[in-house]
Amino acid sequence: MKSPRFKYVRPNSLDQAIGLLSEFGDEARVLAGGQSLMPTLNMRLSHPEILIDINNLEDLKGISLQGDFVRIGALVRHVEVMESSVIREELPLIAEAIPHVAHVAVRNRGTFGGSIALADPAAEMPACALALNANFLLKGPRGTREIEAEKFFYGLYETAIEPDEILVAALLPRIKSGEIFAFTELARRQGDFAQAGVACKARISGQIIEQIRLVYFGSEVKPTLGNNMMTVLKGQRWSDSLVESNSSQLDTDLDPIQNLHGSSSLKLHLQKVLTKRVVHAVMEKAGSI
Ligand code: FAD
Q: What pLDDT sits at residue 140?
A: 97
How far is residue 276's CA from residue 245's CA, in Å, rounded to a whole number?
Answer: 10
C-beta of residue 29 within 8 angstroms of C-beta of residue 52: yes
pLDDT in tens, 39-86: 999 999 989 999 999 999 999 999 999 999 999 999 999 999 999 999
Q: What pLDDT sits at residue 95?
A: 98
**Of how many residues is the chain composed?**
289
Q: What pLDDT sits at residue 268?
A: 98
pLDDT in tens, 131-176: 999 999 999 999 999 999 999 999 999 999 999 999 999 999 999 9
pLDDT in tens, 81-118: 999 999 999 999 999 999 999 999 999 999 999 999 99
173 three-class SS: strand
Of 234, 200, 240, the closest CA to residue 217 belongs to 200
Q: Which helix (H) or strand (E) holds 85?
A: helix 85-90
Q: What is the mean pLDDT of the chain?
A: 96
pLDDT of 232 over the 80 cut: yes
Average pLDDT over residues 10-22: 97
Q: For atom 46 of ligand 1, which residue has the closest CA?
A: 115
Q: What pLDDT sits at residue 191?
A: 83
Q: What is the 3-state secondary structure (H, E, C) of 240-270?
A: HHHHHHCCCHHHHHCCCCCECCECHHHHHHH
Q: For atom 29 of ligand 1, which residue has the closest CA?
A: 102
Q: For atom 40 of ligand 1, which residue has the closest CA?
A: 102
Q: For atom 45 of ligand 1, which residue has the closest CA?
A: 110
pLDDT above 90 covers a percentage of the chain that reads 93
Residues with CB under 6 A from ligand 1: 29-37, 54, 74, 101-102, 106, 110-111, 113-115, 117-118, 120, 123-125, 161, 166-167, 191-193
Q: For atom 17 of ligand 1, which residue has the closest CA?
A: 167
Q: For atom 15 of ligand 1, which residue has the closest CA?
A: 114
Among 20, 37, 103, 215, say which to mutate for ligand 1: greatest number of ligand atoms within 8 Å of CB. 37
Q: What are phi and psi of 235, to 5 degrees?
A: 85, 0
Q: What pLDDT sits at residue 288?
A: 87
Find the 111 Cα to ligand 1 centroid distance in Å: 6
Atom of ligand 1 nearest to the CA of 111: 51
